[in-house]
Amino acid sequence: MSLIRGSRDRAVSGDAAAGEAVVVERGGRPARYTAIGGVVLVAVLAYLPYVLVTGVTQTMVVFYYLAAMALMWNLLAGYAGLVSVGQQAYVGLGAYAVLQLSNWGVQPFLGIWLAGLVCAAIALPTSFAAFRLRADYFAVGTWAIAEVYHLLTIQDNSLGGGSGSALTTLSGITPTLRDALTYWSALGVAVCCALGCFLLLRGRTGLALTAIRDDETAAGSSGVRVGPAKRTVYLAAAAGCGAAGGLVIVSQLNVAPDSAYSVQWSAYMIFMVLLGGIGTLEGPIIGAALFTIVQQYFSADGAWYLIGLGATCVPAAIWLPRGLWGLVEHHTPLRIFPLGRRVRAR
């Protein structure tokens, strides 16, 4: 009937018109600013060991590895929907990997990166056990898995057993150089984590994750390979936390199982991501910065700052579910990491 034919004609010409009138883009000008700004920022940060006091750069090392951990936890929970209370498994495994590798003669600063790979390798078989848990029980299940690695590590006396061990292979280097190398390694790991997350989420995996996050069953029946997508994220998060664990041992120069595998790491990750903003890339970084500052200024007061954090966590979970960056995103068009697509009229 004439009505239908007419609309088809309109659609055909409409397409051509649409092609001229509207443009769908990834980032456009703001993304270019971010990229340039990012490179400048990293360059500035890399220069800092030459100008700042050791105390400050050491604090920044803490910020870098906390940011890496926060980004990884956010990748798992905010994008893949896998709420883990067991990432400390990989922090501990990463730290001990660096220790073991240095016992075998590998330079610890290289060991940090290898530790990431080792953790990803261990995460692969682990994921088959972990993914058999229902979503709600995944959290505590990952914790149990972390405890298994914790207890197994204690069994190994060559790594110091229950009382831990010191990283001695760095004692030959002068402290200033060692601190600078630690700083650059930490900056490198943090930048890699941020970039890695960004590239992963911009690519097909990111699209798959968004689909899974919205409706897992529908995504699966649309052809999204749910299992591999989640597994990729799990492995990436393990690698990131492993490298962060390597940074912990290199910056502290010793490691003990109870602290390396402590569930406190998960507590920190959850705080940082929750307060900063879950499901965004800017949020974990902001949360890590805030947490580092709070930790530096208040840890002298003992458990009080943790009480305060716990007390903040509760209302934040209910009333500020998108975190601080979520507030910014809601009220402003500001986006630092261009992950969405925008439609712009020419």
Partner 1 sequence: MIWVDAILQGVLAGGLYALFACGLSLMFGVMRIVNLAHGDFAVLAAFLAYSLISTTGVNLLWAAVLTVPVFAVFGYLVQRGLLNRAMNGGALPPLLATFGLSVLIQNSLLQGYTADSRALSPGRIGTASLQISSQISLSYLELLILGLAVLVLGGLEFYLSRGRTGRMLRAASDDPQAAGLVGGDPRHLYGIATALAFGTLALAGLLFAARSSVSPSSGPSELLFGFEAVVIGGLGSLWGTLLGGIALGVAQNVAGQANPAYTLLAGHLLFLLVLILRPEGLLPRRRLA
* Selection from 204, 190, 216 nearest residue 82 by Cα: 216
CA distances for 53 relative to 32, 179, 189, angstroms: 33, 10, 21
Enter the DSSP assignment of 261: T
Binding residues among 164-223 for partner 1 as defined by CB under 8 A = none
Q: What tokens does 126 get?
A: 């682990």
| Count, residues near partner 1 per rule CB under 8 A | 43
- What is d(CA 11, CA 339) in angstroms, rounded to the nearest whole number? 30
Nearer to partner 1 by C-beta: 66 or 186? 66
Is the Cβ–Cβ distance between 276 and 284 less than 8 Å? yes
Helix ranges (DSSP H) in 131-277 = 135-155, 175-202, 204-214, 216-221, 226-252, 257-260, 264-276
x/- letters, 306..335, toward partner 1 (CB under 8 A): xx-xxxxxx-xxx--x--------------
Per DSSP (E only), the strands in the chain are 22-25, 165-166, 254-255, 342-345
x/- letters, 3..42, toward partner 1 (CB under 8 A): ----------------------------------------
- What is d(CA 162, CA 150) in angstroms, rounded to the nearest whole number? 10
Nearer to partner 1 by C-beta: 78 or 94? 78
Q: What tokens does 271 get?
A: 């705080």
Q: How far is CA 151 from the centre of its chain?
A: 25
52 binds partner 1 (CB under 8 A): no
Enter the DSSP assignment of 105: T
Applying CB under 8 A, among 24, 136, 172, 333 the residue interacting with partner 1 is 136
300 binds partner 1 (CB under 8 A): no
Q: Give me the least distance between CB of 54 and partner 1, in Å please.
A: 30
Q: Return the percent helix, strand and coil in the chain, to nearest 5.
A: 80, 5, 20
Applying CB under 8 A, among 134, 330, 331, 346 the residue interacting with partner 1 is 134
Binding residues among 65-124 for partner 1 as defined by CB under 8 A = 77, 83, 85
Q: Quick one: which segment of 37-45, 129-137, 190-198, 285-293 binds partner 1 (CB under 8 A)? A: 129-137
Q: Quick one: which segment of 137-145, 242-250, 292-300, 329-337 binds partner 1 (CB under 8 A)? A: 137-145
Nearer to partner 1 by C-beta: 178 or 322? 322
CA triple 144-150-155, angle to 5 deg? 130
Q: Give me the least distance between CB of 69 and partner 1, in Å please.
A: 16
290 binds partner 1 (CB under 8 A): no
Nearer to partner 1 by C-beta: 6 or 162? 162
Phi, psi of 342 (to 5 degrees): -120, 150
Q: Quick one: which segment of 58-66, 93-101, 297-305, 333-341 binds partner 1 (CB under 8 A)? A: 297-305
Applying CB under 8 A, among 40, 124, 129, 327 the residue interacting with partner 1 is 129
Q: Quick one: which segment of 30-38, 51-59, 148-156, 240-248 binds partner 1 (CB under 8 A)? A: 148-156
- What is d(CA 208, CA 225) in angstroms, rounded to the nearest whole number? 8
Applying CB under 8 A, among 33, 47, 297, 304 the residue interacting with partner 1 is 304
Q: Which amino acid is at 141?
A: G
Q: Give me the least distance between CB of 136 and partner 1, in Å please.
A: 6
Phi, psi of 174 (to 5 degrees): -65, 145
Q: Quick one: which segment of 24-32, 113-121, 128-136, 219-227 binds partner 1 (CB under 8 A)? A: 128-136
Applying CB under 8 A, among 166, 267, 289, 290 the residue interacting with partner 1 is 267
Q: Give me the least distance between CB of 132 and partner 1, in Å please.
A: 5
Phi, psi of 103 (to 5 degrees): -65, -30
Length of the chain counted residue by residue? 346
Q: Which residues contact 239 (CB under 8 A, 6 or more apart)?
A: 90, 116, 117, 119, 120, 123
Contact footprint for partner 1 (CB under 8 A):
77, 83, 85, 128-129, 132-137, 139-141, 143-145, 147-148, 151-152, 154-155, 263, 267, 270, 274, 278, 302-304, 306-307, 309-314, 316-318, 321
